[in-house]
């Protein structure tokens, strides 16, 4: 019966490793962004909470404050 217990422990170890690898790969994609050229491309790609709106900033969709006049090449607010 010891051989079966050893197999169970190995299987559990592999199961745990697979789950940690899956979590690691999911976390690596946190900084994913959508590429854009104009603001209208971002409106359907990302959702922003007011007072922020979706805008194309440096060719990336980002949420920026609605009340701030901003040049597309300036730093984020």
pLDDT at 47 > cutoff 60: yes
What lies within 8 Å, CB to CB, of 45 at 6+ separation is 34, 36, 54, 61
Contacts of 50 (CB under 8 A, 6+ apart): 66
Greater confidence, 34 or 75? 34
pLDDT band with cut points at 50, 70 and 90 for residue 41: very high
Least confident of 17-26, 37-46, 55-64: 17-26
């Amino acid at each position: 019966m010891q051989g079966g217990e050893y197999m169970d422990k190995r299987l559990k170890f592999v199961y745990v490793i697979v789950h940690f690898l899956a979590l690691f790969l999911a976390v690596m994609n946190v900084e994913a962004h959508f590429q854009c050229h104009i603001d209208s491309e971002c409106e359907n790609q990302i959702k922003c909470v007011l007072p922020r709106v979706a805008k194309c900033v440096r060719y990336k969709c980002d949420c920026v404050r609605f009340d701030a006049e901003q040049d597309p090449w300036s730093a984020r607010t």
